[in-house]
A = this chain, B = another copy of it.
């Protein structure tokens, strides 16, 4: 096999954005051959592709080696399983599932390891996050003591939430900012720092918008080694912040506005504290230049890596199974907010699924918005 024949299931905004890259030849050794969507008008935009109204028809046509799933979230699990069961390689958009139990089902379906199972965590290709991860995991920063990620620049308007009655409902999306906007950030968080052992979540539901899901979140994460973190996000703030601060033994690192600033302690802070005679002394510091160039290949790089994994056995940058972690973080924050109690990890997937199903049982499609939306998707694709 010298190229991968790809189909896209879910041919709305994201599916078409991927198609544009593929048709433009940006992914080597990958031919987009098919698209699947219940809406014929979506398929009509790429008449050169074989169009299918249902995934079953696409599978039956046996025209694809691999499938990219870009449907609404809830279908990621069922279609991911169906794709693997059809014997195809699969790349699943984020989040890989809406809740942990579904993620476990999807991962369990990946029995044939000759098939590649990948997740679209394109922000892992960003050199800034790669460099921060390297500094943390190599030990150059020393033990991490405290983290704050304030990622509140996900501003979304009432018009945005008015697009489609399913959006920002428990039944339609299974969550709000944590499930739709933040899967990347939650994935990067666990990719850089690992998983916490306990989470306390504070969420407000429909604080800024007429929606039933969370649009404003603060979470407190506790790690087994005593490190702790705050994760703060919202779709109601403008201009909002995107600022990651790490307090580590070797100093303070801040990533904001495309700049990584590391104030490095010459002596680890706890060692200095333990050994100095000065009551009010502090370690000498130096400003260390941390360079990163651009934001990487993003979606195209993940697609290329998926193809290279299929054709050459290249190691995956975003293995599908790792997608369970960002799902679990989102679920734990919501469960804690609903119950008013801290949630210990690993989360019991069945407990969360029951709690979510209770929300879904009373979930209501939204009323038509007062203003009709104009969506420039180029401003949103992440």
**What is A's interface to B at a CB cutoff of 8 Å?**
145-146, 148, 150, 152, 155-160, 163, 200, 202, 204, 207-209, 216, 218, 220, 222, 226, 228, 230, 232, 234, 236-241, 245, 247, 251-252, 263, 265, 269-270, 272-283, 285, 340, 342, 371-377, 379-380
**Which B residues touch A207, using CB under 8 A?**
226
Tell me the nearest residue of chain B to A160, going by C-beta.
Answer: B279
**Which B residues touch A340, using CB under 8 A?**
342
Q: Which of B232, B247, B265 contacts A230 (CB 8 A)?
A: B232
Q: Which of B202, B204, B236, B282 contacts A220 (CB 8 A)?
A: B202
Contact sample, A vs B, 25 pairs, CB 8 Å cutoff: A146-B232, A157-B274, A157-B276, A157-B278, A158-B276, A200-B200, A204-B226, A207-B226, A218-B228, A236-B269, A236-B270, A237-B247, A237-B269, A238-B265, A238-B273, A238-B282, A239-B265, A239-B282, A241-B245, A276-B371, A277-B371, A278-B375, A279-B373, A280-B376, A280-B377
Q: A251-B239, A274-B158, A371-B275 are in contact. Are A148 and B232 (CB under 8 A)?
A: yes
Query: Once the chains bind, are A380 and B245 in contact (CB under 8 Å)?
Result: no
Copies assembled = 2
Query: Once the chains bind, are A277 and B226 in contact (CB under 8 Å)?
Result: no
Q: Which 5 A/B pairs are nearest by Cβ-Cβ distance?
A: A160-B279, A280-B379, A279-B375, A238-B269, A279-B373
**Which B residues touch A163, using CB under 8 A?**
279
Query: How far apart are the CA atoms of A156 and B270 in the complex, in Å?
Result: 10
Query: Once the chains bind, are B371 and A273 in contact (CB under 8 Å)?
Result: no
Query: How far apart are the CA atoms of A33 and B162 in the complex, in Å?
Result: 72
Q: A150-B245, A283-B238 are in contact. Are A208 and B273 (CB under 8 A)?
A: yes
Query: Once the chains bind, are A159 and B277 in contact (CB under 8 Å)?
Result: yes
Query: How far apart are the CA atoms of A50 and B148 in the complex, in Å?
Result: 52
**Which B residues touch A236, using CB under 8 A?**
145, 269-270, 273
Tell me the nearest residue of chain B to A285, going by C-beta.
Answer: B239
Query: How far apart are the CA atoms of A375 and B204 in the complex, in Å?
Result: 46
Q: A145-B237, A247-B237, A371-B276 are in contact. Are A282 and B202 (CB under 8 A)?
A: no
Q: A230-B230, A374-B278, A374-B279 are in contact. Are A270 and B157 (CB under 8 A)?
A: no
Known: A146-B152, A236-B269, A236-B270. 10 other contacts (CB 8 A): A146-B237, A155-B269, A202-B228, A204-B228, A238-B272, A239-B251, A275-B371, A277-B371, A280-B376, A340-B342
